Structure 1
C-alpha cells in the first residue's frame, strides 16, 4: 500500500495537472523555505498544492471549484478582474498552506473561512471587495504583520456586508 501511495505521489512531479498554476512557482517557494524542507519532501509539498486546487477525499471542494461561484453573475470586465485576483490569491495561499502543519501560517480553518466569505458575498462588488480584503490579509499574514488568530468570522462580517453561517 505504501508503494502505491509513493508512486501516486511522485506522479505529481511528472504529470502536473493543467488546472494548477505552473509547478515551477511552487518548487521555487518550496526551495526558499529551508525549515519546511527539513519537515517535508518536495513531492509531499507539491501533492498538497494539487490538493488545494483540486480537492481530495478530506476536502472535496478545491480552489478550482470556487471559480464558477466567484465568477458567476459578473460583467465581462469584472470577471476578468476577479479571475486575475483569484488566481494570484490562490498561488499565495497554496504556496503557504501546502507546507508541513508545523511550518505553515495558513491553515485549513482559514481556507474554509475564506471560501465561506467569497460564497457569502452575493453582490459582485462585494465579492471583489472580499477577494481584495482576503488578499491583503494573506499578504499581511505572510509578512508577519497580522496574527493568524485575527483571521475569524468577525473580521469579515465587520468589514463586508455579508452573513456567514
Structure 2
C-alpha cells in the first residue's frame, strides 16, 4: 500500500512539473508538495462543494505545522519519534512510513467536517500511541496498525468511534512497564 502510494506521488510529481503553477509563498518547505493536496481536493467533489481550496490547504498546513487544538503537528511528532529512535535503519523506516501516513491522514483530516473520515481525535490518539510505542520498542509495528486504521477508515470498513484511547495501549499496561 505504502509503495503504491509513493509511486503514485512520484508519478504525479514528475508529470505535473510542466503544468503545475508555482508554489504559493506561504507553503512551507517542511511540508510535502502542495500539488498532492491540490489533486486530492480536486478529486473530491463532495468536499470541494463545501470547502474552498484555500480553506482546505490552510487546514493541511495546520495538520503538519500544528495549531491551537493540535499543537504538535505531524512534523513535530515525526521529529520527536526520529530523535528518540537509536537505530538508523529503524529511524529511516519510521520516517518513510510517517511521510506516507502524513499524506493520507493530512489530506483527509483537512477536509470539511461533514465529509472527512479522519478527525482530530483520531490524530491525537495515533500521535500519543506513537510516542508511547517508543518505550515499548514497537514503533514500526504501531505504524502498521495506524496504517491499517487509516485504510479501514478511508475505505469505510470501520466507523470513526472504533478508534479509542485504549485501542493500542491500555492505560494499565503503560504503568506496568514504567514501574
The alignment's TM-score, normalised by the length of structure 2, stands at 0.78
Aligned pair 1:34/2:45, yes or no? yes
The CA deviation at 1:58 is 3.2
State the distance in 2 between where 1:74 and 1:147 align: 36
Shift of 1:107: 0.6
Question: What is the CA deviation profile of residues 105-136 of structure 1, one whole-angstrom value per residue up to 9, with x for unaligned ones?
Answer: 10111111111101111247411111111011
Counterpart in 2 of 1:68?
79
Matches within 5 A, 1:20-99: 20-71=31-82, 72-99=84-111
Deviations, residues 130-161 of structure 1 (Å, cap 9, x unaligned): 11110111011101112111111232126xx6
1:101 & 1:129 partners in 2: Cα distance?
30
1:130/1:65 CA distance change after superposition, 3 Å: same
What secondary structure sits across from 2:147 in the alignment? helix
For 2:146, which of 134, 138, 145 is the aligned residue?
A: 134
Runs of 4+ in 1 over 6 A off after TM superposition: none
2:114 matches 1:102? yes
- Deviations along 1:25-50, one digit per CA (max 9) or x if unpaired, are 10010011001011100000000000
TM-score by length of 1: 0.84
1:144 aligns with 2:144: no
**Structure 1 residues not aligned, in runs of 5+:** 1-11
Q: Is the 8 A contact 1:74 1:124 kept in 2?
A: no
Q: Secondary structure at the match of 2:85?
A: coil
| Root mean square deviation of aligned Cα | 1.7
Aligned length: 150
Tell me the distance in 2 between the aligned counterparts of 1:94 and 1:85: 14
Cα displacement (A) at 1:69: 2.0
Question: Quick one: which of 122, 134, 151 aligns to 1:122?
Answer: 134
